Every structure is written in structure tokens, then in C-alpha cells.
Amino acid sequence: MAGKQQASRSSGGANDASSSSSTAESLGSNAARGATTGKEEENNLKKAFMTGPLDPYASFCSFTKADEFDVFSATVASNVANEDRILVDPARGLFGVFDGHGGKDVASFALERIGPLFDKQYAKKSRGDADDVVSLFFEAASSAQKQKKAAAAAGGSKVGSGDEPGAALKRAFVEIDEEFLNQHGRRLPTTGSCGLVCYIERGVVWSAIVGDSRLPAVRSQSQPSVLGVF
């Protein structure tokens, strides 16, 4: 991730640690709680949870209603210019981060296109109100690992018919890549981006990841605890 580590946790609102208050307000009243880990912990987590890119799976979560709530994000960057972009789209139920490298172009493009392309790939019939999210309670990491093992035993995850949010996220990522290459030509790569996007629907969270971004599942209590990293 080019010398930087970032993570986001969706719980509503937005406040970028490296942005001005006006920029934070422009992100809306919903965003993602941020967290960073040390390099040693990061490497250990990679060994435990590393899978192929774009390997989404469902994790159950619990929603708690609240009139107002906040979601925060934090970015630790090694570059003077911030190349990262934060996705906060409560109307669609999409939250995530794009970790740009070699410039902000791909991260900005992905941020702009992920919503429309996800809509194209997944015809949402009805879903829970993402604005009611105040905290997410994920299953333990062992449960997620069991799901991955079951998927691997069944031949791996496959792109579905379009009714599955995880498959739709995967196809949206592929389309973003193809659109950017078609617009800018297939030259030698000088810029790029990792990506992590979560979709929330009726108490279930789907995540899609490309690159080395990871999603920590945190129980929000007086003493927050990490339930797993996906």
C-alpha cells in the first residue's frame, strides 16, 4: 500500500483527519470510523486472512436505530499529497476506501464510478435503511474463515446472475478497471489504487477487496474490540 495503512468502519457521518471542516461536511452525515495497525500486526493479519483479490463474502451484522450518529475516517499517508479517497454513500448502502498510489487519478475515478456501476450490476429490490446504521456487529473472524473454506471446497466463489451483491461488487470493480484503461489507453502503469467497498442490506454486509486493503470488524462499546479482519 505504498508505505501507508488505512482502514474504515461504517457507522454514519464523516470527518477526514487530514481534511478541512468544509471537506468533512461535504462527505455528508455518514462516513467510516478509522483505525490503523502497526506494520508487524499488519503482516500477521495478512498471513492469517490473505486471499485472492475481489473475494467478497457475507457477514451478518446488527443495526441500531438512532436519530443522529457520526462516522469518522483517518488516513496515515506517506506522501505530501493525499492520494486516498473515501466512499460514503448511505443512499446506496455503500461505504469504502480507495488507496491511490502513483497519484490520485485511479482512486478518484473509482470513487466516481463505483456507485453507478454497482447499480447497473445489482438491481436492488428493497433493502434496510442504511441511515439507521449506528454500529456494525460482525461475526467472529473464525466464522468468516469457515465461509471461505466452504466456498473453496465448492470450487471457489463464482460471479452470479446479478442478484447477489457480492458478485455485483466484483463486476463493478472489473468494469472500473476496463473503463479507466479504455479512456487512458493501455500504457505502462504509472498510477493505480487498492480498493475496499462494503455494501449493507437488511442486516448483512458484503465486502469486495482489490489490493492489500483490509476491513477490521469492530464491536462499538465502552471498550471497542476487533472481532476480525477481512
Q: Say what the pLDDT of residue 208 is.
A: 87
| CATH architecture of the domain covering 5-229 | 4-Layer Sandwich (3.60)
Per-residue pLDDT of the chain (230 residues; tens, 9 = 90+): 433 333 333 333 333 333 333 333 333 333 333 334 455 554 544 443 333 333 333 333 333 343 334 455 565 656 667 788 888 888 888 998 998 888 888 999 999 999 999 998 886 533 443 333 333 333 333 444 455 555 555 444 333 333 488 888 988 999 999 999 888 877 756 888 999 998 888 778 888 888 888 887 777 767 777 877 77
pLDDT tens column, 149-168 = 555 554 443 333 334 888 88
Q: Say what the pLDDT of residue 116 is.
A: 92
Distance between CA atoms of residues 21 and 50, nearest Å: 36
Output the CA torsion sign for 46, 50, 52, 55: negative
Distance between CA atoms of residues 159 and 165, nearest Å: 10
Give CA torsion, residues 214, 193, 203, 230, to 10 deg: -20
Query: Residue ranges of the domains in the chain?
Result: 5-229
Distance between CA atoms of residues 221 and 135, nearest Å: 9
Q: Say what the pLDDT of residue 108 is.
A: 92
Residue 172 carries which side chain, given as an amino acid letter? A
Q: Say what the pLDDT of residue 129 is.
A: 38
For the chain, the straight-line distance linking the first and the last C-alpha, in angstroms and rounded, comes to 16
Q: How far is CA 106 from the centre of its chain?
A: 16
Query: Alpha helices of 60-128 — where are they, by DSSP H?
Result: 105-121
Phi-psi region of 149 (alpha: psi -120 to 50; beta: other; left: phi over 0): alpha
Q: Based on C-alpha coordinates, what's the Rg of the chain?
A: 17
Q: How far is CA 148 from the centre of its chain?
A: 18
| pTM summary value | 0.51
The C-alpha cell at 175 is: 468494469
CB of 62 closer than 8 Å to CB of 128: no
Query: Alpha helices of 27-140 — where are they, by DSSP H?
Result: 39-49, 105-121
Q: Say what the pLDDT of residue 75 is.
A: 59
pLDDT tens column, 167-210 = 889 889 999 999 998 888 777 568 889 999 988 887 788 888 88
Q: Say what the pLDDT of residue 25 is.
A: 37
The C-alpha cell at 228 is: 476480525
